[in-house]
């Protein structure tokens, strides 16, 4: 990346200036390059001189001293001092030509870095209770988790996508109970859904199917046996359904981890013991408490209820240990905003178990409100009025749904206007971007018919203002991907892709690609090819398709 080259040059200048006493430095100021908003301010700008001038020296004088000591480079055309002491760099055309060549060559690794090489990351996301269909909220989680995983892979990390299934606690029991009641109803046996049970229509649908498949043989079974069967089959069916929903949505979890497996293997018990051995557990009122308040939590938390049943926290502790044993350097849990209260206890558990808490990361995704015909639809799983992800996908399609989930920062509540997202029109950014891609495909096809070859393109031909803007935007891809990965901010990539499509459209409008001028046509084709590759690559990181025609 160019900024690496520029930083190196700047550091060399700083050292030189420090050595010959031109500037007094207590410590080397950090060199950061950023893109100026205004083109007149050059291609790249740094404020090192201002940072170095904190001691009171004149930043502009420092800036000049640094310029005088910059090593020569064929990348840099000129450097200017601006305003209070900014250094504005103008780069040589070679820089952009290099970008276009690399961007249009799939083997160049354009937009990829290896900063994550050797780092193993576990990304756990969605992990909704297996007691109902994946909801639209789950969809946002799926889109974000998948895009973040892709971003981490693009920056060289080894990623495992994981789904944790809470199949051992109270919720699954309530679900089984609710299913039993609905099953019995099929045979005219009245019953009542337990308080906090599952009222959703889908429970009735499933019960009806089970009634057909199993007949009435469970009607006369003991309640215990009936519930156990409902639990087993219900879980199996729900998991299959959830998996199908997620696959259809284009996300794939490599690992489906069952909470029950931790209890069966004794991992939960040994995690509790390990916490106890560390002196983090205390018996109180017949329950066993984890002393999380000593590790930054507001209060202590129950690990084992007085009934003897472990809480989720006990399983979660065992799960932390399990992940750690599997060799992950980083554990990312993508959680819903409603779980923020649990974060301190998880981090406390990690620390008590000897897992450095800085290795555990818990981004919180805010809620969604669905708007249809101007009316907000609120969701609640137990009341049964969730909007299933499948329903949303039926209505707006996978691409539009994903794109809109990835359009905003995670920590921002998202208003999802179904009518708006459904529009297959250029006003809808996802189609605007896809259209740009399809249009390039069409141009390339046309060029192929004319037997134009891009290999020997002379990029010096690209001097039009639109071409220049487009090349600069392509160059920005190399910073955008790692930046989005670092910040866990897929929306940065979404924005970028949109800007790229915009710059391409302007270029397309003003610069005819396939003309009688062979040299110019080849150069422009190469630029088209580069743009197409980057659009397709960015979209694939987001999990959105890049159609050849629409």
Partner RNA sequence: GCGCCCGUAGCUCAGUGGAUUAGAGCGUCCGGCUACGGACCGGAAGGUCGGGGGUUCGAAUCCCUCCGGGCGUACCA
Q: In degrees to the nearest 10, what's the CA dihedral of 255, 258, 262, 263?
A: -170
Least distance CB 217 / RNA (angstroms): 32
Rank residues 327 and 338 by Cβ distance to RNA and give the closer one. 338
Decide: is 453 part of the binding site for RNA (CB under 7 A): no
Site for RNA in 390-419 (CB under 7 A): 407-409, 411-415, 417
Rank residues 185 and 499 by Cβ distance to RNA and give the closer one. 499
Instruction: Pick from 474, 513, 530, 542 the residue near RNA by CB under 7 A.
Output: 513
Task: Quote the CA–CA distance of 491 and 508 in Å, as a whole number.
Answer: 26
Rank residues 103 and 436 by Cβ distance to RNA and give the closer one. 436
Q: Strands 360-361, 335-336: parallel, antiparallel or unpaired by DSSP?
A: unpaired
Number of shown-chain residues binding RNA (CB under 7 A): 87
Task: Quote the CA–CA distance of 125 and 256 in Å, as a whole number.
Answer: 11
User: Which tokens belong to 268?
Assistant: 């939960």
Straight-line distance from the first to the last Cα atom of the chain, in angstroms, rounded to the nearest whole number? 34
Task: Find out whether 47 and 85 touch, Cβ atoms under 8 Å.
Answer: yes
Least distance CB 473 / RNA (angstroms): 12
Least distance CB 220 / RNA (angstroms): 32
Residues forming beta bridges with residue 375, ordered by sequence position: 372
Decide: is 4 part of the binding site for RNA (CB under 7 A): no
Decide: is 446 part of the binding site for RNA (CB under 7 A): yes
Least distance CB 165 / RNA (angstroms): 12
Instruction: Pick from 18, 302, 353, 461 the residue near RNA by CB under 7 A.
Output: 302
Rank residues 425 and 451 by Cβ distance to RNA and give the closer one. 425
Decide: is 140 part of the binding site for RNA (CB under 7 A): no
Rank residues 210 and 387 by Cβ distance to RNA and give the closer one. 387
Q: Which stretch binds RNA (CB under 7 A): 2-10, 106-114, 214-222, 510-518?
A: 510-518
Rank residues 17 and 184 by Cβ distance to RNA and give the closer one. 17
Cα angle: 426, vertex 429, 431; to 5 degrees:
55
Site for RNA in 68-127 (CB under 7 A): 82-84, 86, 88
Site for RNA in 346-375 (CB under 7 A): 364, 366-367
**How would you label 498-537 residue by residue, b for 16+ Cβ within 10 Å and e otherwise?**
bebbbbbbebbeebebbeeeeebbbbbbbbbbbbbbbbbb
Least distance CB 506 / RNA (angstroms): 4
Query: Which conformational region is residue 215 in: left (phi greater than 0), alpha (psi within -120 to 50 degrees), or beta?
Result: left
Decide: is 307 part of the binding site for RNA (CB under 7 A): yes
Q: In degrees to the nearest 10, what's the CA dihedral of 403, 406, 412, 418?
A: 20
Least distance CB 186 / RNA (angstroms): 29
Instruction: Give kind and range of the element (H or E) at residue 369.
Output: strand 368-372
* Contacting residues for 524 by C-beta, under 8 A, at least 6 apart: 461, 462, 467, 511, 513
Instruction: Pick from 170, 232, 248, 252 the residue near RNA by CB under 7 A.
Output: 170
Instruction: Pick from 11, 261, 342, 545 the residue near RNA by CB under 7 A.
Output: 342
Decide: is 326 part of the binding site for RNA (CB under 7 A): no
* Contacting residues for 114 by C-beta, under 8 A, at least 6 apart: 155, 156
User: Which tokens belong to 500?
Assistant: 């790229």
| Residue 143: other Cβ atoms inside 10 A | 29
Rank residues 41 and 357 by Cβ distance to RNA and give the closer one. 41
Site for RNA in 477-496 (CB under 7 A): 486-487, 489, 491-492, 495
Share of the chain residues as helix, strand and coil, in percent rounded to the nearest 5: 55, 15, 35
Instruction: Pick from 11, 73, 293, 502 the residue near RNA by CB under 7 A.
Output: 502
| Residue 158: other Cβ atoms inside 10 A | 16
Task: Find out whether 275 and 353 touch, Cβ atoms under 8 Å.
Answer: yes
Least distance CB 368 / RNA (angstroms): 9
Helix ranges restricted to H, 278-423: 312-325, 343-352, 389-396, 398-405, 418-422
Rank residues 26 and 427 by Cβ distance to RNA and give the closer one. 427
Rank residues 41 and 208 by Cβ distance to RNA and give the closer one. 41
Least distance CB 364 / RNA (angstroms): 6
Q: CA–CA distance from 348 to each of 35, 63, 300, 303 (Å)?
A: 40, 48, 10, 13
Decide: is 28 part of the binding site for RNA (CB under 7 A): no
Site for RNA in 241-280 (CB under 7 A): none
Q: Which stretch binds RNA (CB under 7 A): 148-156, 199-207, 225-233, 299-307?
A: 299-307
Task: Quote the CA–CA distance of 236 and 125 in Å, as a whole number.
Answer: 20
Decide: is 338 part of the binding site for RNA (CB under 7 A): yes
Least distance CB 434 / RNA (angstroms): 8
Task: Quote the CA–CA distance of 291 and 354 in Å, as a whole number.
Answer: 15
Least distance CB 442 / RNA (angstroms): 3
Q: Is 354 exposed, middle or buried (0-12, 13-18, 19+ CB in 10 A)?
A: exposed
Decide: is 431 part of the binding site for RNA (CB under 7 A): yes
Least distance CB 289 / RNA (angstroms): 8
Binding mask 31-70 for RNA (x = CB under 7 A): -----xxx-xxx--x-x--xx--x----------------
Instruction: Pick from 64, 77, 435, 472 the residue near RNA by CB under 7 A.
Output: 435
């Amino acid at each position: 990346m160019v900024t690496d080259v520029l930083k190196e040059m700047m550091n060399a200048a700083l050292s030189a200036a420090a050595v010959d006493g031109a500037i007094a430095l207590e410590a080397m100021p950090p060199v950061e390059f950023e893109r100026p908003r205004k083109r007149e301010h050059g291609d790249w700008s740094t404020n090192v001189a201002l940072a170095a001038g904190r001691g009171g020296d004149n930043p502009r004088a420092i800036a000049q001293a640094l310029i005088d000591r910059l090593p020569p480079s064929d990348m840099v055309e000129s450097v200017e001092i601006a305003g209070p002491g900014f250094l504005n760099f103008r780069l040589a055309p070679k820089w952009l030509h290099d970008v276009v060549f690399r961007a249009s060559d799939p083997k160049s690794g354009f937009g990829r870095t290896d900063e994550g090489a050797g780092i193993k990351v576990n990304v756990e996301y969605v992990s909704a209770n297996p007691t109902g269909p994946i909801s639209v909220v789950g969809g946002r989680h799926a889109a974000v988790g998948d895009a973040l995983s892709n971003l981490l892979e693009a920056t060289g990390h080894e990623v495992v996508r994981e789904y944790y299934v809470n199949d051992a606690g109270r919720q699954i029991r309530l679900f089984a109970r609710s299913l039993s009641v609905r099953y019995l109803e099929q045979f005219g046996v009245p019953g009542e859904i337990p308080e906090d049970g599952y009222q959703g229509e889908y429970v009735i649908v499933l019960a009806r199917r089970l009634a057909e498949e199993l007949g009435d043989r469970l009607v006369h079974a003991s309640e215990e046996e009936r519930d156990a069967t409902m639990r087993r089959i219900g879980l199996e069916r729900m998991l299959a359904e959830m998996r199908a929903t997620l696959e259809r949505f284009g996300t794939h979890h490599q690992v489906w981890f069952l909470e029950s497996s931790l209890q069966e293997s004794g991992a939960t018990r040994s995690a509790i013991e390990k916490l106890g051995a560390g002196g983090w557990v205390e018996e109180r009122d017949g329950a066993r408490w984890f002393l999380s308040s000593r590790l930054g939590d507001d209060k202590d938390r129950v690990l084992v209820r007085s009934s003897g049943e472990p809480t989720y926290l006990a399983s979660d502790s065992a799960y932390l240990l399990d992940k750690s044993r599997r060799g992950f350097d980083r554990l990312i849990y993508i959680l819903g905003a409603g779980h923020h209260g649990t974060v301190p206890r998880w981090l406390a558990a990690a620390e008590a178990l000897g897992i450095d808490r800085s290795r555990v990361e818990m981004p919180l995704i805010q809620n969604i409100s669905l708007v249809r015909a101007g009316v907000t639809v609120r969701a609640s799983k137990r009341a049964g009025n969730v909007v299933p992800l499948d329903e949303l996908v039926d209505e707006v399609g996978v691409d539009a749904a994903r794109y809109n989930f990835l359009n905003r920062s995670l920590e921002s509540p998202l208003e999802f206007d179904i009518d708006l997202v459904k529009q297959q029109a250029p006003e809808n950014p996802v189609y605007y971007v896809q259209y740009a891609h399809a249009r390039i495909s069409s141009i390339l096809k046309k060029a192929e018919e004319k037997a134009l070859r891009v290999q020997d393109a002379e990029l010096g031909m690209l001097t039009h203002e639109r071409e220049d803007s487009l090349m600069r935007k392509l160059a920005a891809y190399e910073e955008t991907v790692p930046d989005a990965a670092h910040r866990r901010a897929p929306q940065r990539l979404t924005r970028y892709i949109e800007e790229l499509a915009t710059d391409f459209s302007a270029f397309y409008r003003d610069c005819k690609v396939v003309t009688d001028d062979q040299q110019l046509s080849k150069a422009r084709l190469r630029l088209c090819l580069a743009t197409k590759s980057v659009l397709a690559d960015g979209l694939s990181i987001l999990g959105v398709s890049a159609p050849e025609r629409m």
